[in-house]
Structure 1
């Protein structure tokens, strides 16, 4: 595959990407007038605001709660802001624990994955696993009885063809082993899910990997012994929760024309701990050899992308492959950084932040640890020095509005009672190679608060969370060592 970064950087030079504005720029370029109603979800799903790209393999991506959610037809109750932020901090603590004490260029291996308590923050896609299982087995019917939405209540929203079993999974860029719940999986210890449970006995294309097989040996620290010559896996989370079962393969289907034969995944028969939504499992996209990305690298160019919608009443998309054609010129691109002995994580280097066109006075060394890209952390974390500068500039720009009490770790909040439109300062993140990403308004305000939080010290890596990524197509061109951002993509 030709190097992606030089190509995209060349295209960038002629693109119309955002640029850093001088302090004397017109107010139009320093602020944007935002209708607060545009940041709130509507009662019904409006679908895609922008047509997804047609030159890659893609499926719809939706938030876990709200009218577009594939979980129980959106009937699940959204978490409170306090609960969401609490779970978000658990996710952040897990990532930073895995990275603690690891020099940037000399990582120590560790193979735990993001804790299940963060699933409420996950973005969802529908895929097909194996052939259809209709009617569901008696066991599956018993487990699903009484669930709101019933069996595959929102299957009509899926683009999957007839003949495959729909499974709603959480997209996770910081884990390596894909898995779904499999019959038998009693509740508890397994968790309820909206979809029909995957039953390997009903799939003619299912196969369990024998112990000693190359796929089983590749599991490394995820290996969990052998039962009846079937390879067993176990993913253990830092809080003691886990998913375990048989390491297996089956057909993974995206749409009528795109499927992956012999897709390797964990067939989960037992869990410990609590899982917060009714998704069927995890679609792992980390840099380890077990992930979907690694399994499809030769076919789709070792690249994937996603676009997270601004509200739960809109849909985004998840895609495999490197976009081509005119669309490529619309990306701003920065190098992708990796931890040599911890391949799971993808990292970028933040160089600066601008507020209202003015660059914050933050020493470059503050950003030297880089920022981990994460699809399941909601609120971005910044080094304390950078966060303090951002907060001060934002508060100054918002001084005409009434302050409100903090919400969890969001300490810059406002009372917008009676306010229809907010004069919001433009905020841009400037990454290495001058890749300027001007945040969508939905990436600046979260529940009427500044949607950033502080890490504990300046030496910790930052985290670029999903709220700040909203409306951008984020391209992980892993084979080319680049991350691309295409604005207004969903």
Structure 2
């Protein structure tokens, strides 16, 4: 008999084109009609991954370290004018078609990046990292074209410090637009900024999608074929397709161990089941999305936290695993959570993390944690998937009170996160995947 997880994966393939959401019980619930397109989204260690990763999921200590590195780089990028971009840590991927005929590409999804790219042939093992799928070969696509160096599209890279200058074709007569991206985790990618057909779903083709055709990579990789940028700058997928889908998009991140979520372009025709909080850009970053947290509750009890300590706001970052809170909110949350979990043994930690040893416990009761945002929007995090990671409270300290924090992808799990470009808000819908 097929496993429940396999059954869920098959259901999503069958109903994916109808924008259906699959619940943990295996039910198929139609989502609000959209004028846009939706594609399945999975965790690369999850059971529905196209090619499940053979490496082990990061431990909490590893995830926390990488999360802090990513947060530091986002802050430094904003302060020094986008010299680098974020680390590749999200681990949620989508499968899209690139070229004509369309070739499947498994791309890491990231709201902290703008420029999308894939590794391109010809590229040997010295210049490109190993990937499970064949490299995208632009020579086999009838719709591929390099972007000219002097074009406005190429000039837009210069304003975002993504341009690597102009490279000459083999005949030395035609210049091409070069790109270069350096990620905080050590990965560097460069190649030709290009134009291609991008297939989102059957019948949903973006004819002139600008992406990086990568010919040289250095440093660590995340085993995907490339990256899909969902930030707010002109190079991102939502901005490039704003004429088609209005610039809005949403996603639902499933728990690692079960089911499939989705990435959808365009806003639902009916948003009555969403709760919205105002959303702005972060500083002059142009990429990151910012919301304001106003309160936290644990086990249904509101914590006594002065609202002024939240003034820095939270960067909504699906590429960051763990949420970061200023010192006072983090300390209050940690204390209340530990009190509610007093029945379970804490694992000693030099970093004062909140991790538990659940060995021998057949039933673990995790308290409900809720976040309240500007406008009185209260979001109940999924329990335990939106609260715990590897048996640890998936929050850490961002810095002093008033400092900018991060809303990580653990806390987003099972929620539909709707980035409403026209309304300037972030919408939350519970139990979406």
Q: How does 1:61-140 map to 2 (within 5 A)?
A: 61-70=41-50, 72-99=51-78, 102=79, 109-116=81-88, 118=89, 121-132=90-101
Alignment of 1:193 onto 2:131: yes
User: How far apart are residue 131 of structure 1 and its match?
Assistant: 2.0
Q: Deviations over 1:63-84 (max 9, x none)?
A: 01132222x3454443444333
Aligned partner of 1:269 in structure 2 is 215
Aligned partner of 2:246 in structure 1 is 301
> Aligned to 2:108, which of 138, 147, 170?
170
User: How far apart are residue 421 of structure 1 and its match?
Assistant: 2.0
Aligned partner of 1:11 in structure 2 is none
Checking the alignment, whether the CA contact within 8 Å between 2:95 and 2:106 is kept in structure 1 is: yes
Checking the alignment, whether the CA contact within 8 Å between 2:98 and 2:197 is kept in structure 1 is: yes
Checking the alignment, whether the CA contact within 8 Å between 1:409 and 1:453 is kept in structure 2 is: no
> Aligned to 2:199, which of 253, 257, 260?
253
For residues 123 and 354 of structure 1, the distance between their equivalents in structure 2, rounded to whole angstroms, comes to 28
Pairs aligned (count): 404
For residues 455 and 198 of structure 1, the distance between their equivalents in structure 2, rounded to whole angstroms, comes to 39
> Aligned to 1:461, which of 404, 407, 411?
404
Aligned partner of 2:8 in structure 1 is 46
Give the 3-state SS of the residue equivalent to 1:187 in structure 2: coil
Aligned partner of 1:344 in structure 2 is 287
CA shift in 2, pair 1:396/1:82, >3 Å = closer
Checking the alignment, whether the CA contact within 8 Å between 2:294 and 2:374 is kept in structure 1 is: yes
User: How far apart are residue 44 of structure 1 and its match?
Assistant: 5.0
User: How far apart are residue 464 of structure 1 and its match?
Assistant: 0.1
User: How far apart are residue 241 of structure 1 and its match?
Assistant: 3.4
Aligned partner of 1:483 in structure 2 is 426
For residues 204 and 242 of structure 2, the distance between their equivalents in structure 1, rounded to whole angstroms, comes to 14
Checking the alignment, whether the CA contact within 8 Å between 2:32 and 2:269 is kept in structure 1 is: no
For residues 265 and 351 of structure 2, the distance between their equivalents in structure 1, rounded to whole angstroms, comes to 35
Aligned partner of 1:412 in structure 2 is 354
For residues 184 and 66 of structure 2, the distance between their equivalents in structure 1, rounded to whole angstroms, comes to 14
Aligned partner of 1:393 in structure 2 is 336
More helix by percentage = 1
Q: Deviations over 1:93-120 (max 9, x none)?
A: 2223334xx5xxxxx632521124x2xx
Structure 1 unaligned spans of 5+: 1-40, 103-107, 133-163
Q: Deviations over 1:41-73 (max 9, x none)?
A: 987573332546362311110001132222x34
Aligned partner of 1:38 in structure 2 is none
CA shift in 2, pair 1:239/1:440, >3 Å = closer
Q: TM-score, normalised by structure 2?
A: 0.88
Q: Deviations over 1:361-388 (max 9, x none)?
A: 1111110000000011111011011000
For residues 409 and 253 of structure 1, the distance between their equivalents in structure 2, rounded to whole angstroms, comes to 45
Aligned partner of 1:310 in structure 2 is 255
For residues 75 and 388 of structure 1, the distance between their equivalents in structure 2, rounded to whole angstroms, comes to 36
CA shift in 2, pair 1:203/1:478, >3 Å = same
User: How far apart are residue 357 of structure 1 and its match?
Assistant: 1.9
Aligned partner of 1:237 in structure 2 is 183
For residues 391 and 186 of structure 2, the distance between their equivalents in structure 1, rounded to whole angstroms, comes to 34
For residues 332 and 450 of structure 1, the distance between their equivalents in structure 2, rounded to whole angstroms, comes to 25
Moved more, 280-289 or 184-193: 184-193
User: How far apart are residue 461 of structure 1 and its match?
Assistant: 0.7
Aligned partner of 1:359 in structure 2 is 302
For residues 246 and 439 of structure 1, the distance between their equivalents in structure 2, rounded to whole angstroms, comes to 42
User: How far apart are residue 333 of structure 1 and its match?
Assistant: 0.5
User: How far apart are residue 474 of structure 1 and its match?
Assistant: 0.2
For residues 323 and 262 of structure 1, the distance between their equivalents in structure 2, rounded to whole angstroms, comes to 24
Q: Deviations over 1:209-268 (max 9, x none)?
A: 111011111111211111121111111234553110001011000111111001000100
CA shift in 2, pair 1:253/1:52, >3 Å = farther
Checking the alignment, whether the CA contact within 8 Å between 1:414 and 1:448 is kept in structure 2 is: yes
CA shift in 2, pair 1:450/1:473, >3 Å = same
For residues 260 and 56 of structure 2, the distance between their equivalents in structure 1, rounded to whole angstroms, comes to 19
For residues 301 and 66 of structure 1, the distance between their equivalents in structure 2, rounded to whole angstroms, comes to 31
Aligned partner of 1:321 in structure 2 is 266
Q: TM-score, normalised by structure 1?
A: 0.78
Task: Give the RMSD, CA atoms, in angstroms.
Answer: 2.0
Q: Deviations over 1:1-41 (max 9, x none)?
A: xxxxxxxxxxxxxxxxxxxxxxxxxxxxxxxxxxxxxxxx9
> Aligned to 1:207, which of 129, 145, 155?
145
Q: Deviations over 1:112-164 (max 9, x none)?
A: 21124x2xx321000000023xxxxxxxxxxxxxxxxxxxxxxxxxxxxxxx1
User: How far apart are residue 205 of structure 1 and its match?
Assistant: 0.2
Higher RCO (CA 8 Å, separation ≥ 6 residues): 1
Aligned partner of 1:140 in structure 2 is none
